[in-house]
């Protein structure tokens, strides 16, 4: 990564230019229902002058070697090729006109003369209202022979999408071979995601990434044992791994039994 540090004045100029920049007009069929965990940068700016500094421009831990201090804000550039001559801006998805993007982004310190290979854009997430139609096995409630996998189930992120695809694939194979379908262990991340998409409130259902808030809650006694959040989270991870490993060992017996069946 490369870090582009802002002082207070530079940030104020950038912020003002961003909130005044022109966006691409929405089509009649488009709704402005943003995914809260992946908001366009201009939408973050509209929510408050400091919102970006607590989001993608958060400077915590990024010490400027010239000053020995954290900057007021920072933009991170992620290397995109082996030649290290192409970088992307982390967390800067947007819906601005291309000309406006060039004007505003060149206000980032160090990017005054940047050449833009591709401008940013937002993408549409398509997902079903899983709590209405899916079981934790990723099969439809009304059509048990139909499975949904990946992002369309209502999860966000590569790993999360793979996890739901894996669970759907396992159960589709088990259904095809006449075996009982399985649910992922409730304390595991995979189990937590499956539980969420199958049982969340339907009115405001939105895709989620995995977080500790989704994991199976600790009982009251275990919760009181840990004063620090870090220790509590580590205990949750240990419980999840223990339950997951036991579940996988049991799964091996399922496979062995299947192979032994004539």
Q: Provide the CATH number for the domain around residue 151.
A: 3.50.50.60
With beta carbons less than 8 A apart as the criterion, state whether 24 and 99 touch. no
Nearest CA to 98 out of 13, 43, 26, 23 is that of 23
Lowest-confidence segment of 32-36, 104-108, 157-161, 245-249 by average pLDDT: 32-36
Confidence of residue 224 (pLDDT cuts 50, 70, 90): confident
Q: Is the pLDDT at 172 greater than 80, yes or no? A: yes
Domain for residue 60, yes or no?
yes
Could you tell me the CA-to-CA distances from 149 to 30, 63, 106 in Å, in that order?
25, 42, 40
Domain for residue 19, yes or no?
yes
What is the pLDDT at residue 40?
Answer: 86
With beta carbons less than 8 A apart as the criterion, state whether 71 and 64 touch. yes
Domain for residue 198, yes or no?
yes
Phi, psi of 140 (to 5 degrees): -70, 145
In this structure, are 134 and 256 located in the same domain? yes
In this structure, are 14 and 86 located in the same domain? yes
What is the pLDDT at residue 29?
Answer: 66
Exposure letters 4-15 (e unless 16+ CB within 10 A, then b): bbbeeebbeebb
In this structure, are 142 and 89 located in the same domain? no
In this structure, are 167 and 101 located in the same domain? no
Domain for residue 10, yes or no?
yes
In this structure, are 93 and 55 located in the same domain? yes
In this structure, are 160 and 207 located in the same domain? yes
Q: Is the pLDDT at 173 greater than 90, yes or no? A: yes
Domain for residue 178, yes or no?
yes
Domain boundary among 105, 140, 165: 105
The stretch 44-66 carries a mean pLDDT of: 91
What is the pLDDT at residue 261?
Answer: 46
In this structure, are 68 and 163 located in the same domain? no
Residue 41 and residue 3: Cα distance in Å, rounded? 17
The stretch 248-262 carries a mean pLDDT of: 62
Exposed/middle/buried for residue 72 (C-beta within 10 Å: 0-12, 13-18, 19+): middle
Long-range contacts of the stretch 186-190 (C-beta < 8 A, 24+): 186/216, 186/243, 187/215, 187/216, 187/236, 187/239, 187/240, 187/243, 187/244, 188/240, 188/243, 188/244, 188/247, 189/163, 189/214, 189/215, 189/240, 190/163, 190/164, 190/166, 190/244
The stretch 198-210 carries a mean pLDDT of: 85
Phi, psi of 167 (to 5 degrees): -65, -40
SS3 category, 77: strand
Mean pLDDT rounded to a whole number for the chain: 88
Lowest-confidence segment of 27-36, 58-67, 147-156, 243-252 by average pLDDT: 27-36
In this structure, are 137 and 254 located in the same domain? yes
**pTM exceeds cut of 0.85:** no
Q: Is the pLDDT at 260 greater than 60, yes or no? A: no
Number of domain units in the chain: 2
The sign of the CA dihedral 214, 215, 216, 218 is: negative
Domain of residue 19, residue span: 2-105
């Amino acid at each position: 990564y490369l870090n582009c540090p802002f002082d207070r004045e530079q940030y104020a100029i950038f912020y003002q230019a961003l909130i005044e920049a022109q966006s691409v007009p929405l089509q009649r069929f488009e709704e402005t229902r943003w995914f809260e965990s992946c908001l366009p940068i201009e939408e973050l700016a509209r929510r408050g002058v400091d919102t970006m500094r607590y989001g993608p421009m958060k400077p915590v831990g990024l010490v400027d070697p010239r000053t020995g201090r954290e900057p007021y804000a920072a933009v991170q550039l992620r290397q995109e090729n082996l030649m290290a001559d192409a970088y992307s801006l982390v967390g800067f998805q947007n819906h601005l006109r291309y000309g406006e993007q060039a004007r505003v982004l060149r206000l980032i310190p160090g990017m005054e003369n940047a050449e833009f290979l591709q401008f940013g854009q937002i993408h549409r997430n398509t997902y079903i209202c899983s709590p209405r139609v899916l079981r934790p096995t990723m099969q439809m409630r009304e059509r048990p022979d139909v499975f949904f996998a990946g992002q369309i189930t209502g999860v966000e992120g590569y790993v999360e999408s793979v996890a739901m695809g894996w669970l759907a694939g396992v159960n589709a194979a088990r259904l095809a071979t006449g075996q009982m379908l399985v649910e992922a262990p409730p304390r595991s991340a995979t189990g937590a995601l499956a539980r969420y998409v199958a049982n969340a409130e339907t009115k405001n259902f939105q895709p989620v990434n995995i977080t500790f808030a989704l994991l199976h809650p600790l009982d009251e006694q275990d919760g009181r044992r840990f004063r620090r959040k870090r220790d509590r989270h580590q205990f949750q991870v240990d419980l999840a791994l223990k339950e997951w490993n036991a579940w996988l060992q049991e799964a091996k017996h399922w496979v062995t039994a299947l192979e032994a069946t004539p």
